[in-house]
Amino acid sequence: MTQLKGKHVVIGLGKTGLSCARFLTRLGCDVVVIDTRNEPPGKTDLVSELPHVPLLTGDLKQFDLTSAQELIVSPGISIRSAAIKKAINAGVPIAGDVELFARSVAAPVIAVTGSNGKSTVVTLVGKALEAAGYEVCVAGNIGLPVLDALSSAEEVDVWVLELSSFQLETTQSLRAKVAVNLNVSEDHMDRYDSLDDYAMAKQRIFEGCESAVYWLDDHRTKPIHAIGAMRPFGGSKVVHGRFHVEAFQTVPETNYIMDGSKKVMSVEDLKLSGAHNWLNIAAVLAILTEFGVDYQSCLETLKQYPGLRHRCQWVANIHGVNWYNDSKGTNVGAAISAITGLAGMVTGKLIWLAGGEGKGADFSELVQPVAAAVGLAILYGKDAEVLSSALQGEVSVEKVETLQQAVLLAKRHAEAGDVVLLSPACASFDQFKNYEDRGEQFIKLVKREASDHE
């Protein structure tokens, strides 16, 4: 068996593990990759590109990780697993791809975490900085591994990174110029002991940062240690951060993104829809300000941004019924944001499609917003029954097996003025490859229904 003594051991292949193996090999390190799966994703590329790098498969317990020089753990692998904990206790250093990136990068970093909204915010920040004349690279949890980005980017003035709690667990040296925690709501409860445990992983983003941006309405997003510059966003009309959303009693009522007491823009000027996205814009303005950019030069870019695919994405209008794809809503907080964000736009009833792999989440937080805004919940997938139990008596519920059945049932119930929203509050892995696959399947189903009515 391949010896691990003195080796840089990458645990977990996939896109991230492969990027780590490439990066470490270029540095001249002696690399071994371990994966618990016999045929891990990325195996073909590893064998083709790095034929000299051994790939070991099987349960981690069979490997003596305590003899490694360093463990580089992919986000999908828990550092609390017995074999990894044993190595940590033996003094073996642990890192992830973001830690390797942080040791190597010179340009300033804007780092963004949060349970929801990360992808939208980093995309908006990247586009705004480009409009202001910066060479920007957006990478991380949004899909481009940071080490692949570091290896391929030529000149970067600023890095904008989306970071998950899993990535932050193995990051010690980031020291971002601006660190951001957008919100904390239940997610990955199959990996954390509690919501506070999960929130503490998010707190790591603030370590060594120059400036912190956090949501005033969520105490778990505020840095627990003193930081030189702290910029809250959001809040109420009475108590709020510099950048916030405020409603003005006009006819009809109009919401504005505010800079203190100054109106920056009406939400009617935005292509993005939903109250959660208005708050995302406020966060972006706070980030740009902390980075030292005059946001005025970026406003048109922010106004014109249409939103991410699979995130409250309008799909079609069929006989007066608007269909929205929020497949990226893989947790309770994301579903609440989508429901409350669209509720004000519904003239009829809101039909909500949800279900999948619940990841051990507490669905009780959905009760109040669902009872207030949803006319019919159609639940499908592995944890439909769990979700149904949480909502019992609060909203009309119907259960089916598959997303296709849910779409057909929604079509039968929907009338002109209604909105049908897919925002599953669950992971997709019970029936789909990932949330993108789920979203694309939903779009196809809706488009098929639309074509049948032409």
Please state, in angstroms and rounded to a whole number, the distance separating the CA atoms of residues 451 and 197: 48
User: Any idea which residues carry the catalytic annotation?
Assistant: 118, 141, 188
Pairing verdict, β 321-325 and 419-422: parallel
Question: Which residue(s) pair with 324 in the sheet?
Answer: 314, 421
Please state, in angstroms and rounded to a whole number, the distance separating the CA atoms of residues 236 and 292: 26
Please state, in angstroms and rounded to a whole number, the distance separating the CA atoms of residues 180 and 212: 6
What does the angle CA 39 – CA 45 – CA 48 come to, to the nearest 5 degrees? Answer: 115
Residues in CB range of 60: below 8 A, 6 or more apart: 11, 34, 36, 81, 82, 83, 84
Contact 168, 95 (CB under 8 A): no
Please state, in angstroms and rounded to a whole number, the distance separating the CA atoms of residues 436 and 440: 6
Residues in CB range of 242: below 8 A, 6 or more apart: 231, 232, 233, 259, 260, 286, 289
Question: Torsion-angle region of residue 451: left (phi > 0), alpha (psi -120 to 50) or beta?
Answer: alpha
The token pair at 99 is: 């830690």
Question: Torsion-angle region of residue 188: left (phi > 0), alpha (psi -120 to 50) or beta?
Answer: left
Residues in CB range of 400: below 8 A, 6 or more apart: 378, 379, 380, 384, 406, 409
Contact 68, 2 (CB under 8 A): no
Please state, in angstroms and rounded to a whole number, the distance separating the CA atoms of residues 301 and 378: 37
| SS3 at position 346 | coil
Name the maximum alpha-carbon separation found in the chain: 74
Report CA-CA distances (Å) from 96 to 79, 91, 145, 242, 360.
10, 16, 11, 35, 25
Our separate counts of H helices and E strands in the chain read 15, 20
